[in-house]
Amino acid sequence: MNADQLYSKLRKIRFEKSENREDLRQFCEEKMPLINEILDLKEQKGAVILAHTYVPPEIIYSVADHTGDSYGLSKNARDAKSDLIVFAGVRFMGETAKILSPEKQVIVPATDGGCSLADSITGEDVRRLKKEFPDYTFACYINTTVDVKAACDVVVTSSNVYDIVARMDTDKIYFVPDRLMGLNLIADLEKRGIKKDIKLWDGTCYVHEEFDPALIESSRRMFPGLKILSHPECDPLITNESDFVGSTTQMYDYVVENGNDPTYLVFSECGLASRLEAEKGPFDMVGSCMFCKYMKSNSLENILRVLRNPEPADYIQVDDLIREDALKALNRMFAEAEKK
Ligand code: SF4
């Protein structure tokens, strides 16, 4: 890896929030000693580095072994041959990796690995709801803590939530924690002619709930042929008017399939637009994306620190009994997702 290679990727990105980016070439040159030390330590320690699409792009294009959304990365973590996983993402993702691979050491290098969805509900909340609604099946979004997963019957992701809930042989579902994704789920089931009683928790992603639906009408007027893409964490006022709704990876694939001619309006965290520009651009993209402060708290500096001098608190710890219950809910997802 050299500064030119990194520069050739980063220079295509218009949406960026890493610090110190006025002089991009200088930024790349300054980061090279850091990057090379990370690559050396990664090799010495036999580590694998996973990077969510929303983390700063200099991580994705210099040290990451795999990049993707939470579902894809959870499979990369499960299948990794390495004993040490450095998961550039947020804490619930590191916990998911640890649930799937308890024998591996997992570190999340974010300085703030929170998530407004994962932090909106506790395992205790779910256990209380289960007593209140004993005949409901509890489905949780993967953006939850290990304790919440352990208390639920099945985990879902943004790429499989609609299909899994549609196929489940129960008509009473309590879906946690994303209220907006739950409303989108209800609308999708209605479109498929499936009647289910769905109850919802009141969590939201603070990034995706902020998008303004008013942008849709004016953008459609100004850009004929506009393709609008949105994530199921967005408000139904946005998803109902979108040409495509899907996970980060599904939206990425949609743009690749539809090519560089249309103008795109993408309602998602800026990391998706950045990856598309770096890997498949140039594109005409209108509107503005939003940054997730939790994802952007990952940095090359902190990846180096956890590889060089990890502290006990850096390692994700999961209690064995809780892990077993959470694994059942995750394995049910993998089994359901692989059914056709
Ligand atoms: S983008 Fe939203 S759902 Fe994803 S980590 Fe950030 S707060 Fe959580």
The string of pLDDT tens digits covering residues 96-106 is 999 999 999 99
What is the model's pLDDT at position 146? 98
Q: What is the pLDDT of residues 162-207, one digit of tens each?
A: 999 999 999 999 999 999 999 999 999 999 999 999 999 999 999 9
What is each CA distance from 328 to 79, 146, 151, 241, 324, in whole angstroms? 17, 12, 10, 36, 6
pLDDT, mean of residues 136-149: 98
Instruction: Judge whether 3-114+295-309 and 208-286 match in fold.
Output: yes
Ligand 1 atom having least distance to the Cα of 293: 6
Query: Which residue's CA is the closest to the ligand 1 atom numbered 8?
Result: 115
115 alpha carbon – ligand 1 mean position (Å): 5
d(CA 264, CA 234): 17
Chain centroid to CA 132: 31
Find out whether the beta carbon of 143 lies less than 6 Å from any atom of ligand 1: yes
Options 3.10.20.30, 1.20.140.10, 3.40.470.10, 3.40.50.10800; CATH for 3-114+295-309 is: 3.40.50.10800
Q: Residue 17: pLDDT band by 50, 70, 90 thresholds?
A: low
3-state secondary structure of 98: helix
> Encoding tokens for residue 62?
């210099």
What single letter denotes the amino acid at residue 4? D
Options 1.10.10.10, 3.90.1010.10, 3.40.50.10800, 1.10.3720.10; CATH for 118-205+319-338 is: 3.40.50.10800
294 alpha carbon – ligand 1 mean position (Å): 7
Find out whether the beta carbon of 206 lies less than 6 Å from any atom of ligand 1: yes
Could you identify the residue written with the tokens 């779910």?
A: 126
Contact 56, 270 (CB under 8 A): no
Find out whether the beta carbon of 101 lies less than 6 Å from any atom of ligand 1: no
State the fold for domain 208-286. Answer: Rossmann fold (3.40.50)
Q: Residue 334: pLDDT band by 50, 70, 90 thresholds?
A: confident
Ligand 1 atom having least distance to the Cα of 115: 8
Question: Where are the chain's structural domains?
Answer: 3-114+295-309, 118-205+319-338, 208-286
Chain centroid to CA 225: 28
Is residue 36 over pLDDT 90? yes
pTM greater than 0.85 (yes/no) = yes
Q: Which string of DSSP letters, residue by residue, matches 307-318?
A: HHS--GGGB---
d(CA 9, CA 281): 10
